[in-house]
Amino acid sequence: MRPLSLTTLAFAVAAGASTGAIAASSTATSLTLYRSDDAALFSGGDGGSIQAGYAVAREPRELSLKSGVQDINLGGLPQYLDPEALALTVAGNSAKVLSQRLLVGQGQNAALASLAGQPIVVLGSNGQPLASGTLLRAGDGLLVQGSDGGTSLIRDYAAVRAQGSFQTGSLLQLRVDAQRPGAAKATLSYTTAGMGWRAAYVGTLQAGGRCQMQFESRASIANRSGRDWKDAELTLVAGEPNFAKPSAPRPMGAPVAYAMRAKTDTAQLPEQDTLADYRTYTLPGAVDLPDGSVSQVPLYATRTIECERTSLFEHGGGWVPPQPMINRDYTPGGDTAITSTLQLRAFDSLPAGYLRVLTADRNGTPQFIGEGRINDTPKGSDAHITLGTAFDLRGERERTAFSVDKAGHTLDESFRITLTNAGDSERVVTVREHPSRWRQWTLVSSSSKPSQQTPDTLEFRVTVPAGGKATLDYAVRYQWSADDHPQG
C-alpha cells in the first residue's frame, strides 16, 4: 500500500471477503418516503447528511447463526435512525433478539465503526504495521486488541487494512438467542431521517390567445441519509402525517450531487393508491438512490392543460374586525403592485411541490417567468400561484369621499383606482377590494359592474389600453347596530 499522510484515512478491503455474521439477502429493500418541505434536503449549497425528512425501510438480511446466545453486527445503516423504531424479525422465529445497541456513524468513524469485532491491521505513514488484532472501538483513536490479549490505543495512523468489508453509516449491535445454527432469513425494519420527496412541476405556456400549458410532473427524491440505496422498491406518500419528535441540529459535510437515475422504463408511471388519509405512489421498477443525491422520476404523464392568467391589483384581505372601524385612516390609499397570477385545475391528485413556469421569447426559447408552490390539491380543485410583479402595469388607490353618521350607525366611503399600462398591448387587470371596516356593507355605486361579489370581496375586471390608463370608481356603505359599537 502506498504511504498516506496522517490526515488521510484509507481502507484496504480484501476482494471477495465475507461479512461473517450478516450478509445481504437477494430480496430487494423496500423504502417508503414521506413528503418533506425542508429545503436543505434538496439544496446543492448545503452539505452532508441532514436530519430532515422521514422514511421507513424494510431491509432483508441473511444471518449466519450459531446455536444459543451470540452477538451480531448489522452495519451500513443510515446516520439518522430512530432507536425506538428498530425491529429485527427472523423467519420462522428461529432466533430472538435479547438486546440491541445503535452506534451512530459520523464522518470517517462511520466506516471504522462497521469494522468493530473484525480483524484489522493499522498502518503508519511509512506503510509499516503499527498494530494488528480485533478492532474494539473507533472514535478518538482506534482501540485494538492483539492476539496476546493486550490492548492498544492508536491515534496517529495513516490507513487501516481489514479482512472483512466496511460500510458507511450507523451500526446496530444485537444480542440474539438462536434455537439452531445455520443461515436464517431476516427483515430489519427502521425509520430514518435524511430522506424525503416532493413534487416538481414544470409548466410551459403555449402560444396563442388561450391560456394553455404543457404540464410536466415529477417526484424529486432526496437522499442525505449517510448511505447509498441500490435496487430499492420505492413508495412515495403524499399528505401530512403528524411527526411528534423534534429534529436535532444538522451536521455539515460534503456537497450534494444531483442524480437522475431510475432503473425503470420512464414510459411506466407510478401506481397510485390510498393509505388511510393519504395518497401513495409506488414506482414500477427498482431505483438507485446514492447518498448526497436528488433524483427525479416521472409522477404523471406530460399533458397540455387549460389555465388562467390574471394581472391582479389587490388591497387588503378578508379579515373582519370585532367592531365597526370608523376611524378615517383605517383603510388608507396608496400604491400597490400589480401581480401576475396563474390558476389551473388539478387533472388528478397533485401532491405538494413547486411549479416552475416557462414561456417562449421571440426567438422561441423557453424562459423562466416565475415559480410558486402548489399545495396538496385533490382532483378537480383549483391551484393558484403568484408568478411575480407585472413590469408595465401600475396601480394607485385613493379615497375620494368619507363620512360617518354615528347617530344613524352608517359610514360611507368611496375610492378611485387608477391603472396605467406602459406596454404595447391592451391588458385586463383584475381589481380585488376587501371592504373590511365591518361585516355588513353594501355596494352603493361603481363605474364598472363587479365581476364577482362575496361577503368580504369586491372584484372588477378593468381593461387598460396600451400606453394608457383606466380608472375605477366605487362607493360602499357600512351599517351597524348600537350594540356593535360602544361609541356609536
Degrees (nearest 5) of the Cα angle 330, 334, 339? 115
- Is the predicted pLDDT of residue 3 greater than 90, yes or no? no
pLDDT at 166: 58
Burial of 434 (0-12, 13-18, 19+ CB in 10 A): middle
Look at residue 236 and tell me whether its pLDDT is greater than 80: yes
Residue 363 makes CB contacts below 8 A (sequence gap 6+) with none
**Residue 331 and residue 436 in contact, taking contact as beta carbons nearer than 8 Å:** yes
| More reliable by pLDDT, 44 or 24 | 44
> Is residue 80 within 8 Å of residue 192, measured between CB atoms?
yes
Cα–Cα distance for residue pair 105/443, rounded to 1 Å: 67
For the chain, domain boundaries:
10-27+59-192, 316-340+384-479
Q: Which CATH architecture has domain 316-340+384-479?
A: Sandwich (2.60)
Backbone phi, psi, residue 296, to 5° = -130, 135
- 422 CB-near residues (< 8 Å, 6+ apart): 392, 393, 394, 467
- Closest CA relative to residue 172, chosen from 104, 93, 230, 226: 104
Residue 257 confidence (pLDDT): 40
The per-residue pLDDT of the chain, averaged, comes to 84
Task: Please give the angle made by the CA atoms of 391, 397 and 400, to the nearest 5 degrees.
Answer: 155
- The residue behind cell 407510478 is 270
Pairing of strands 334-336, 229-238: unpaired
pLDDT band at 344 (very low <50, low <70, confident <90, very high): very high
Pairwise CA distance, residues 78 & 327, whole Å: 61
Q: Is 132 helix (H, G, I), strand (E, B) or coil?
A: strand
Q: Strand 129-139 and strand 119-123: pairing?
A: antiparallel
- Structure confidence at residue 137 as a pLDDT band (50, 70, 90): confident
Q: Largest alpha-carbon pair distance within the chain?
A: 103
Per the CB < 8 A criterion, the answer to whether 386 and 341 are in contact is yes
Q: How far apart are CA 401 and CA 413, in angstroms?
A: 5
Question: What is the four-CA torsion angle of 395, 396, 401, 406, rounded to 10 degrees?
Answer: 90
Q: What is the pTM of this model?
A: 0.74
Q: What secondary structure letter does DSSP report for 330? A: G
Does the pLDDT value for residue 436 go beyond 70? yes
Terminal CA-CA length for the chain: 92
Question: 219: buried, middle or exposed (CB in 10 Å: 19+, 13-18, 0-12)?
Answer: buried
Q: How far apart are CA 435 and CA 315, in angstroms?
A: 9
The answer to whether 390 touches 370, Cβ cutoff 8 Å, is no
Q: Tell me which DSSP letter residue 263 carries.
A: B
Query: Which residue shows C-alpha cell 355596494?
Result: 443
Stated length of the chain:
488
Q: What percent of the chain clears pLDDT 90, i.e. is strictly above it?
A: 52
42-51, 103-112, 138-147, range with the lowest pLDDT: 103-112
Which of 67-76, 384-393, 428-437, 449-458 shows the lowest mean pLDDT across its residues?
A: 67-76
Distance of CA 387 to the CA centre of its chain: 21
Pairwise CA distance, residues 225 & 291, whole Å: 7
Rounded Cα–Cα distance for residues 36 and 236 (Å): 11
- Rounded CA-CA distance 456/439 in Å is 7
Amino acid 297: pLDDT: 92
More confident residue, 353 or 106: 353
The DSSP element (H or E) to which 300 belongs, if any, is: strand 293-315
DSSP letters for 187-256: EEEEEESSEEEEEEEEEEEPSSSS-EEEEEEEEEEEE-SSS-EEEEEEEEEES-----SPPPPPP--SBP
Asked if residues 157 and 59 have their Cβ atoms less than 8 Å apart, the reply is no
Tell me the Ramachandran region of residue 266: left when phi exceeds 0, alpha when psi lies from -120 to 50, beta otherwise. alpha
Contact 105, 169 (CB under 8 A): yes
- Mean pLDDT along residues 187-193: 91
**What CA–CA distance (Å, rounded) separates 61 from 468?**
73
Grid cell digits, residue 333: 390609499
Mean of pLDDT values over 432-456: 95
Structure-block grid coordinates of residue 237: 406518500
Query: What's the sign of the alpha-carbon dihedral 178, 182, 185, 190?
Result: positive
Higher pLDDT, 420 or 329: 420
pLDDT digits (tens, 9 = 90+) for 394-419: 999 999 999 999 999 999 999 999 99
